[in-house]
Amino acid sequence: MKKIEAIVQPFKLEEVKEALKNIGIDGMTISEVRGHGRQKGHKEVYRGQEYNVDLLPKVKFELVVLESRLDEVLDTIATAARSGRIGDGKIFVFDVIEAIRIRNGDRGDAAV
């Protein structure tokens, strides 16, 4: 089991969700987050004055998948989230030690 955390542009939310649904991934957690990557935010000009915008709004997807499907899911997210510009985001993959379905106590792959 692997946990995927993908930070993507807010306007890519629906596209990524839809792409995951199309390959049969329904379970995921989505949150509104703010942060910055290498570009450390940027400057915006409003009424002739510059403002530093250091934390940019992004969307975070979290999902746990079986190892056998990992590459397919990563490809799907990356393709759907790509606009080719700075700020498209990042995907992180973690090992998952255990998963438990609270309702019935299922463990491991069966709980994913």
Partner 1 sequence: MKAGVGQVSDLLSPGPGIQLTEQQIKDAFFQTRSAANALDRRTEFVDQLVRERWAWMPKGISLVAVGGYGRRELFPYSDIDLLILTPDEKTQNAIKDPLSMFLRDLWDKGLRISQSVHTPADCNQIDATNAELAVSLLDRRFLAGDESLFRQIKDPRAELGRNIAELTKERHNRFQNTIYHLEPNVKDAPGGLRDLQVLRWFARLGAADGQMTPVFPDEIEVLFEIRCFLHYLAGRDDNKFSFERQDEIATLMGAVSPEDLMRRYYLAVRGISRLANRRLESFEAKRSSLFSQFRDRTSRLSNSDFSIVHGEVYFRSSTAIQTDPKVVLRLFEFLAHHDLPLATAAEERVQQGLEVFGTWIESHQPVWPAFRSILRQPHGPKALRAMHDCGALQTIFPELHEMDALVIRDFYHRYTVDEHTLVAIQTVLALRSKPGDMFADLAAESDDLDLLATALLFHDVGKGSPDEGHVEVSRRIAESALKRVGIDERDWGMVSFLIGSHLEMSAMMNGRDLSDPVTHREMASKTGTVERLKLLTLLTYGDISAVNPSAMTPWRKQLLWKLYSQTYTELTRELTARIHQPDIAANPALVQFLEGLPPRYLRTHSEEEIGKHLRMEREGGHRGVQVSLRKSAAWILTVVAGDRPYLFSATAAALSSFGFNILKAEAFSNARGTVIDTFSFADPARNLDLNPGEKDDVVRTVTRAIRGEITIDNLLRRRPKIKPDPHAIAASRVNVDNQASAAATLIEMTAQDRPGLLYDVSAVISKRCANIEVVLVTTEARKAIDVFYVTKIGAKLKDEEAKDLADAILAVIKPAS
Give contact residues for partner 1 (rule: CB under 8 A). 9-11, 13-14, 32-34, 44-49, 53, 56-57, 83, 85, 87
Taking the complex as a whole, the smallest distance from the CB of residue 48 to partner 1 amounts, in Å, to: 4
**What token pair was written down for 16?**
């990524």
Q: Output the CA torsion sign for 58, 59, 64, 70.
A: negative
Q: Which is nearer to partner 1, 84 or 105 (CB)?
A: 84
Taking the complex as a whole, the smallest distance from the CB of residue 23 to partner 1 amounts, in Å, to: 22
In the chain, the amino acid numbered 21 is K
Taking the complex as a whole, the smallest distance from the CB of residue 70 to partner 1 amounts, in Å, to: 28
Q: Which is nearer to partner 1, 39 or 68 (CB)?
A: 39
Among the listed residues 91, 77, 90, the one whose alpha carbon sits nearest the alpha carbon of residue 19: 77
Give the CA distances from residue 9 to residues 3, 15, 16, in Å, rounded to whole numbers and listed in that order: 20, 10, 10
Q: Which is nearer to partner 1, 21 or 107 (CB)?
A: 21
